[in-house]
Amino acid sequence: MSNRLRTGLCAVALPARVYLGCVFVAASLYKIAEPAEFGLSIATYEILPLAWINAMAILLPWIEIVVGITLIAGFWTRASALAIGGMMIMFIAAIGITMSRDLPISCGCFASAEASDEISLGTVVRDSIWLGLAVYVVAVDDGRFGIDGLWRWRRKQREAKAPDPE
C-alpha cells in the first residue's frame, strides 16, 4: 500500500477515532460519578453473577475513560481501538441476550436507568456502528496523527542523527 493511500486512510480514521474516544469518555463520566446506579443498571441485565456486579460497576468506567482518552490522543491507538471493539461486542451481546428475554430495561450507557431510553434494535444498530468504527481504526490507523506517530517521528530523527558506528 502506498504511503499516500495509508495517510489518506489514517486521515479518515482520525475523526472516527476521536469521535469514538469521546463517546467512551462521555459514557464513563456518569458511571464513575454514580457507581451504585451503574451497578443497578448492570444487575438489571440479569447476566452477571451478583458477586461480579460491584467490581464491574467500578472497573468498567475507568477502563472506558482510559481507552477513550488514549484513542483520542492516538496513544496505543490500535490497542485502544481493539479494547473498545471488544467492549462493543460484549455490550451488543448483553443487549441481544436481554432483548431475547423481553426484559424492558434501559441501556445504562450514558445515564441512570430512569433517565435512559429502553434498549431496542436501535441500540444494537448504534453499538454495531461504533463496533465498525473501532474495527476500521484497528485496521488502518497506525496512530500517525497522534502520540504514536510523534514517537515514531522522534525515533527516526534520533536514528538519522546517530553517528555511524563504523
Q: What is the pLDDT of residues 101-146, one digit of tens each?
A: 998 888 888 876 555 678 999 999 999 999 999 999 999 998 888 9
Q: What is the pLDDT of residues 58-67, one digit of tens each?
A: 999 999 999 9
Q: What is the pLDDT of residues 108-118, one digit of tens each?
A: 888 765 556 78
Residue 58 domain flag: yes
Average pLDDT over residues 19-45: 94
Residue 86 domain flag: yes
Long-range contacts at 112-116 (CB < 8 A, ≥ 24 apart): 112/30, 112/34, 112/37, 112/41, 113/37, 113/40, 113/41, 113/44
The candidate with the shortest Cα–Cα distance to 10, out of 113, 151, 138, is 138
**Alpha carbon of residue 96 to chain centroid:** 19
**DSSP structure class, residue 118:** B
Residue 134 domain flag: yes
- Residue 106 three-state SS: strand
Mean pLDDT score across all residues of the chain: 90
Per the structure, the complete domain to which residue 153 belongs is given by 7-161
- Residue 165 three-state SS: coil
Residue 74 domain flag: yes
